[in-house]
Each structure stands twice: as C-alpha cells, then as structure tokens.
Amino acid sequence: MVEVTVTPQSSLADRPVQIRVRGLSPSQLVTLRAWLKDEQGECFQSRAFFRADGAGEVDPGLHAALGGSYSGVWPMGLFWFLQPDTLFRRLVKRDVAGSPFRVRLEVFDGICLGMNPQEQPLGSCEAERWYVGPGVQRVPIREGRVRGALFLPP
C-alpha cells in the first residue's frame, strides 16, 4: 500500500513541511502532483517525477526531481511551483484569516504529463496551508487614501 504524508499536515504557508511517499517498489518511477483550487475555483498544480530509493521511498527534501515543474532537490518545490491551468491567473489568498488553502498531494505510477480523469493515484493526502496564525487579529486600516490591514499577534 502506497502512503503519502505531509508533516505537519496543517501549517502556516511560509513554514516548510516534509513530504514523504512510502510503499513503492525500489527504483519505481513515479509522478508526485500537488494541486489546489483557489477561492474563485481556479485550479493550480505542479508535478515532479521521482525514482524511488532502494527502500521504495520518495522524499523531495532528499531525492532530486528528474523533471516536471522543476528538477533537482527542492523540499518545497511542489508548493513553490504551482501554476494555473488558465493562463495569466495568479495564486492569491483573499480570505487570509478565515480558511486555509487545501493542497492535495497525489502520487501516480510512471510519468504523468496530463491528467487523465480515469487514472487513479496510488496514494494521496491533503495539507492545509494557513496565512494567519491562531489568535492573530486583523485590523482594517482606512486613513485618507491609504487602505490596508494590520495583523496583531495574540
């Protein structure tokens, strides 16, 4: 059974997480894909191709991506290289205090360039990426022509 884990599962967006895939065959070629839908329903995704180590594991923090959205060792590459399905869209979190981005991580057998709806992932998990920590207060600022927000720690 293939298992994909993100540790910690819930974290602030600027904090690193560890992604691990276990239960693969040694030297198995896989595609690791991250995707999310923003508040407008726009899909953003990234993918990287990896070869499992001798224990049948993939860790983007230790193993180099062979291609895809990036190549080389980038522990947070799947998050950093998220691209929109529709050109000229930007990944922006508007409701920073109310809800996180929920990033879905999936692993597929072999190299997957497109998304075939019939293709089932070998394993998957979900990570929450928050933009405001617990207890942080958001104070709107309106002074003359200045508009903004002040975030006060607890």
123-130 vs 10-12, strand pairing mode:
parallel
Q: Report d(CA 21, CA 24) in Å as an integer.
A: 8
For position 106, which CATH number holds? Answer: 2.60.40.2240
Is the model more confident about 112 or about 123?
123
The domain containing residue 26 runs over which residues? 3-152
Question: By C-alpha distance, which of 62, 29, 32 is closest to 45?
Answer: 32
Average pLDDT, the chain: 94
Q: What is the pTM of this model?
A: 0.88
In sign, the C-alpha dihedral spanning 142, 147, 153, 154 is: positive
pLDDT band at 28 (very low <50, low <70, confident <90, very high): very high
Domain count, the chain: 1
Contact 60, 74 (CB under 8 A): yes
